[in-house]
A and B are shown apart, each in its own frame.
Chain A
Amino acid sequence: MTLNEIKDLLDAEVIIGENQLDMEVKTAFVADLMSDVLAFATAGSLLITGLTNPQVVRTADVLDIAAVIMGRGKKPSPETLQLAEELNIPILSTKFILFEIAGRLYSHNIRGCIEKVGTK
């Protein structure tokens, strides 16, 4: 799916990355714990989270995450916004809860970047 299709599917607002909406994404990881994102998320995946602080963008940058989706209506803090602009990390914000985001994406063939831990 492209980020643009994901934006429509999740009725999301593109906060950063209007120019990157044609990017293809196949996998995703959902977490509010950045240490687990670091441990398990793979390059090119979506990061779906309810956190809004700059560490979300730093984590995305470290891992070459394709884009961040903030659920539950969360929006980036001003510091997060500035950092995402600087590091060129797309951020989408949607009112859907994380379970709904994951379910909707899964039904459109987006898969977890791993299925279970220990099976990388």
Chain B
Amino acid sequence: MVDEKPLYDGSFSVVGGNFDNAGEVSSNIKTILKKIGLPSDIIRKAALVAYESEINIVSYARKGMIRLCVSPQCIMIEAIDEGQGIPDIDLAMQPGWSTANQKIREMGFGAGMGLCNIRSFSDVFNISSEVGKGTHLKMIIKTNSNTLQ
């Protein structure tokens, strides 16, 4: 990924609290990955990781952005937000642990599965957070370069 020119590198902004449009960025990401011609199971994983990340930004942050970088070897998705941050990351990673409000739960989220899903569908998962500043997620999904069309 270091030396080669990426197949795609772009960022999308996400507005906190805007539940009506939540998922729009992930739909865009899916469209981009389809155009690149990646296998559908890889696209599904990446779209899922992007979507849960997007839901997290909409649910908990003031604003944020999702970066998509595609190389022949892998898809990198970064979700960077400005928001409340996560005081205890180990706790936040536990399945079922959540601080979601009613609005988030009504959308079918907020059951404490988001970060677990992101981690389990990524090949590499990194999380860092600063209380009062925001959270940074970085995920890598490996692709098989032979399957590129």
- A interface list, Cβ under 8 A from B: 32-39, 43, 49, 51, 53-56, 58-59, 61-64, 79, 87
Task: Determine the interface band of chain B, counting residues with CB < 8 A from chain A.
Answer: 20 to 34
A79–B20 CB distance below 8 A: yes
- Measured in the bound complex, the distance between the Cα atoms of B111 and A2 in whole Å is 33
Q: Which residue of B lies closest to A63 (CB)?
A: B44
Residues of chain B with a CB closer than 8 A to A61's CB: 23, 27, 30, 47
| B111 and A62 contacting across the interface, CB-CB below 8 Å | no
Q: Give the docked Cα–Cα distance between A32 and B120 (Å).
A: 21
- Count A/B pairs, Cβ under 8 Å: 75
Nearest B residue to A31, CB-CB:
B108
A35 engages B114 (CB within 8 Å): yes
CB < 8 Å neighbour of B48 from A33, A49, A63? A63
CB of A54 to closest CB in B, whole Å:
7
The answer to whether A62 and B30 touch (CB under 8 A), given A35-B52, A38-B117, A39-B120, is yes
Residues of chain A lying within 8 A (CB to CB) of residue B48 = 38, 62-63
A-chain residues with CB within 8 Å of residue B109 when the two chains form the complex: 33-35, 55
B113 touching A54, Cβ below 8 Å: no
User: What 0/1 readout, one digit per residue, does chain B (104-119) give for beta carbons within 8 Å of chain A?
Assistant: 0011110101101100
Which 6 pairs of residues, A with B, have the shortest CB-CB distance?
Answer: A58-B23, A34-B108, A35-B113, A62-B47, A55-B107, A62-B51
Docked complex: B11-70 residues within 8 A CB-CB of A: 19-20, 22-23, 26-27, 30, 40-41, 44, 47-48, 51-52, 55
Identify B22's interface contact among A38, A58, A64, CB under 8 A: A58
Q: Point out which of B23, B111, B113 has the most chain A C-beta atoms below 10 A from its C-beta.
A: B23
8 new A-B contacts at CB < 8 Å, known A35-B114, A38-B51: A38-B117, A51-B107, A53-B106, A53-B107, A55-B55, A62-B23, A62-B48, A63-B48
